[in-house]
Amino acid sequence: MKIEAITLREIHMPLVHFFETSFGRTYDRRILLITVHSEGTNGWAESVTGENPGFSSEWIESTWSTIKSHIASTLLGKTLSAASESPVLMRGIRGHRMAKAGLENAIWDAEAQQKQQPLSKLLGGTLSEIACGVSIGIQDSPEQLMGKIGTEVAAGYQRIKLKVKPGWDLEILERVRACWPNILLSCDANSAYTLDDLEHLKKLDQFNLLMIEQPLWSNDFYYHARLQRELKTAICLDESIRNARDAAAAIELGSCRIINIKVGRVGGFTEAKKIHDVCKSHSIPVWCGGMLESGIGRAHNVSLSSLDNFRLPGDVSASKRYWKEDIIEPEVVVSPKGTIPVSTQPGRGYKIREDLIEKLTVRKETLKA
Ligand code: OSB
Ligand code: MG
């Protein structure tokens, strides 16, 4: 597969409903799409870099300029026999994992087309459908939140995850549990607490949560291990896990009992697969996280979630929860039992709506060797 050219493109898409985490609220997404042009095929991917450096230090401007000035040239003009060879080519650049993931995953997308194989199979996936949960942000009021949970439970989602932060946690969970005592429920703090909150965090144990995601600092394993020893509820790490070595260290230290894999956060499919395998060998279940992706990133998340240690419902949910109109065809649809079928078609299994993408594009640049 010769990497002949790379197109960077920014599209703007308003969210159907704002999304709020402990680090801020998003109404409109600025999405970075990447196309790798190779021997007559176009591989597409999404870099999940955000509008602000809130979740990660990367954001769309840094990702765009780092790809353009430094990363693209490590790939352009090269001939690869598989997408999994690309991380080695990019390893001279430190960090910028969301940027690298966008490039690597576009090459995987092209490879699946060229080899006429479903992307899920190329990744090693075996599941024929994936289990879906939803992530529900902080709302303007508890009533608004209760309404949203009701809608998603009725739609069949298998797990509800609530964003929490100090002041939007215990009372909220108490109200939710009073209404829905038996649903699979978890919460995600996006690093909103410190170890000074230990006594407060212990009170979360009463709600029978499936997990509490990333309660402490985004770059920590050590204090999470101390916290995990004090909690009955399983800790799940998201932000802290950058690669398979981090996953192994976190497991060995006892920092978590569950890991969330986001392909952008860890630098691409190759590293995501390694994390999956490390977790599997230690009997640690994983699930696929979300970053408010468009259909392109979402389609890739569906393929990744078909690996067999994705044993818990992920944050991969229906297109219509995010967008009036998605940029893939068909849109991602979730069944009444809360599942998405994994496509058996060659490639990513969803067509790219190039006309719509063109309309949503605010800038575009093609890089050549
Ligand atoms: O921590 O999982 C997170 C969205 C943006 C940034 C971080 C997170 C999230 C989500 C949304 O929880 C998941 C989704 O795409 O629905
Ligand atoms: Mg998270």
Q: How confident is residue 285, by pLDDT bands cut at 50, 70 and 90?
A: very high
Catalytic residue among 100, 163, 165, 273: 163
**Cα gap 121→307, rounded to integer Å:** 9
Tell me the C-alpha to C-alpha distance, in Å, between residue 253 and each of 102, 152, 223, 248, 269: 31, 36, 10, 9, 25
Query: 255 CB under 6 A from ligand 1?
Result: no
Contact 299, 350 (CB under 8 A): yes
pLDDT digits (tens, 9 = 90+) for 138-158: 999 999 999 999 999 999 999
For residue 190, give the nearest of 156, 160, 159, 166 by alpha carbon: 166
* Ligand 1 atom index nearest CA of 213: 1
Q: How far is the CA of 203 from the centre of ligand 1 (A)?
A: 24
Q: Report pLDDT for 168.
A: 98
Q: How confident is residue 38, by pLDDT bands cut at 50, 70 and 90?
A: very high
Residue range 182-205: mean pLDDT, rounded: 98
Q: How many helices (H) and strands (E) does the chain have?
A: 13, 15
Q: How far is the CA of 290 from the centre of ligand 1 (A)?
A: 5
